Structure 1
Amino acid sequence: MGGLGGHVVHGFGILAIGLWQTFHHIKLHAKNPKSYTSLPWFPTSRIKYFELYFIMIATSISLVIELYLTPYGHHLLDPDGTIPSNHFRLFEHGSISLTFFMSAFLSIVLDKLAPPDVQYGLTYLLYALAFGQQLLLFHLHSTDHVGLEGQYHWLLQIVISVSFSTTLLGISHPHSFLNSFVRSASIVFQGVWFFVIGYTLMPASLMRKGCYMSLKKGHIEVRCHGEEALDRAISLANIQFSWFVLGMTTSMVTLYLVMIKYYLYHNYKSSSTDYCHYSLTNFHVLDQDHDNDGDVEEATNNGKIQESNL
């Protein structure tokens, strides 16, 4: 994940999932404000498990990058079969990707095989485990994230902790739109902050005043000349984070208001034509207006999420 390219690629994948979740949670709430029930993932009419397939493909690409393309000479291990000290970070990044891959894969298995009364909670628990793993490995990172680089990663952990806590709360608060909205917005923020880390710390042209890049144990690190330059760079990072919090809040609320207006006043004026019923593990939508946007919000009586063309 180190370097500009690694942060941007990972940030793009996380951002895409965050925006997907945000869009569908807002849409679901706009159509069913009184009977809203959060969903851990959203099926589509053409490819039911599109979201989960995307996560599995993206994390597989991440694993290939971390464990094959990143190591020097494509040699992950030493000749004696041990892990070089400068490759531990690759295994840590790979473990995060593997956890999200297994969460998506097991979500498909649960949808096909699990009883309805446990499917919902277990699916959310899987993603809480993934975010918890991500938070733990970033906190206990083998790479010595100190100084300016450490500050950016510490701020990232704040965002990850929000994703982790709201995912856990989703198990006990399935009807809370606010919890789902904050969770999906935090995932978007994760993706954005990966972009910020990559473009702020890696290009020499954007390096903070008084700071420079150095190579240590095969890993590029950011160092600063003296305490004054370091304090200045950290203060700028904190201000930058606060501005992004403000910008993200404004953007997410604006998106919510625009989508609410669109779905409530354009496509769903007549409440008598839409009937929705939700439970913890299944949901059923009858839409006589035949929404043609390709998104699916239908499930069967046995609790399994299934496709429908609205």
Structure 2
Amino acid sequence: MGSFPGHVLPGTLFLLVGVWHVWSCIVRYVSNPKSFRVRAWNPVPGFDGRLKYLELYVIAVGGFIDLCVEFLYATHLQIVVHGVLNPSHMNNFEHSGMLLMFFIFGVITLLSEKTSFLPLPEGALCLIASAAFTAEYLLFYFHSTTHKGLEGYYHLILVLLIGLCVLSIIAGALLPTSFPLDLCSGIAITLQGLWFYQTAFTLYGPMMPDGCLLKGDEITCDSTEQEIYGELLANFQLFGLVLGVLVAVVGAYIYAEPKFGHSNLNNSQIPEDG
């Protein structure tokens, strides 16, 4: 069983990274489509380079803070009981392992970009990122087998979104010039962050469907019909989020193309007379 902060914290991290990835992907493409390359991370321009690695610091520091919350705060430092991991906090230990992978990705990428100790190509960084999402996928896939009913359905949708992240990032590493794949990975990460928020507000907040109630560590519904209604509501929420993100992406492209677009692109494609 999760909690409202337990979903909002990682949701915020994924949402920030996803939105930034989408925007950066669009700007890089409209600026020069011919030289476009898939990136595992996107530097922040301007500010004399002082914020260049901000995304990586957000991933590493944000992942580390969330890791500490899950591993130290949520367990009340009762990590080992009678010589074994505290069985009442296995959920927190699983989440900690997932967050550790994203922290490792952030640290490795920083080392690769800022030092000469670990120079890695962009494709390798993409595969490391996909490994972090794969760890998250495996966690929630097997972890979700313990979730039942409405809670299980929301986590099933989350697993599907994580799987989309994994596939799009791996495909981007294999096809490093594909704008659609890079954009798809950013959209998938954004949707994952939004779905964390949606899950928090629905299962642990004010948007609980009628006839369903959070009792202790379980979400129960008065009848099967109420549970089905909750699942249909989840489908509608997912559709609304997907539609909203796609509209925002199209709007961002329309805004970015005249502002950052290569002014000579069309002219270079027109053959000269004679």
TM-score of the aligned structures, taking structure 1 as reference length: 0.79
Provide Cα deviations, 1:110-166, integer angstroms capped at 9, x if missing partner: 3333787x5222111100100111101000117721110110110111111111001
8 Å Cα contact 2:78/2:86 also seen in 1: no
Name the SS for the 2:215 alignment partner. Answer: strand
Count the aligned residue pairs: 261
8 Å Cα contact 1:56/1:104 also seen in 2: yes
Deviates more, 1:107-116 or 1:146-155: 107-116
In structure 2, relative to structure 1, the CA distance for the partners of 1:175 and 1:114 (3 Å cut) is farther
8 Å Cα contact 1:167/1:183 also seen in 2: yes
Output the CA distance in 2 between the equivalents of 1:143 and 1:11. Answer: 21
Structure 1, unpaired ranges of 5+: 272-310
8 Å Cα contact 1:15/1:188 also seen in 2: yes
The one-letter code sitting in structure 2 at the alignment partner of 1:52 is L
- Match in the other structure for 1:228: 225
Matched, 1:249 2:246: yes
Deviates more, 1:183-192 or 1:249-258: 249-258
Name the SS for the 1:34 alignment partner. Answer: helix
Output the CA distance in 1 between the equivalents of 2:189 and 2:167. Answer: 12
8 Å Cα contact 1:89/1:142 also seen in 2: no
- Match in the other structure for 1:23: 23
Candidates 118, 125, 144, aligned match of 1:123:
125
Offset at residue 57 of structure 1 (A): 0.5
Output the CA distance in 1 between the equivalents of 2:77 and 2:117. Answer: 40
Output the CA distance in 2 between the equivalents of 1:143 and 1:166. Answer: 25
In structure 2, relative to structure 1, the CA distance for the partners of 1:143 and 1:68 (3 Å cut) is farther
Provide Cα deviations, 1:186-233, integer angstroms capped at 9, x if missing partner: 111111111100001112x42211111122xxxx32111221211121
- Match in the other structure for 1:293: none
- Match in the other structure for 2:270: none
Output the CA distance in 1 between the equivalents of 2:209 and 2:150. Answer: 9
Output the CA distance in 2 between the equivalents of 1:200 and 1:27. Answer: 34
Deviates more, 1:38-47 or 1:101-110: 38-47
The one-letter code sitting in structure 2 at the alignment partner of 1:65 is V
The one-letter code sitting in structure 1 at the alignment partner of 2:263 is K
8 Å Cα contact 1:88/1:142 also seen in 2: no
Structure 2, unpaired ranges of 5+: 266-274
- Match in the other structure for 1:214: 215
RMSD of aligned Cα (Å): 2.1
- Match in the other structure for 2:4: 4
The one-letter code sitting in structure 1 at the alignment partner of 2:5 is G
Name the SS for the 1:86 alignment partner. Answer: helix
Counting aligned pairs with the same residue, the percent is 31
- Match in the other structure for 2:83: 81
Q: Which has the higher helix share?
A: 2
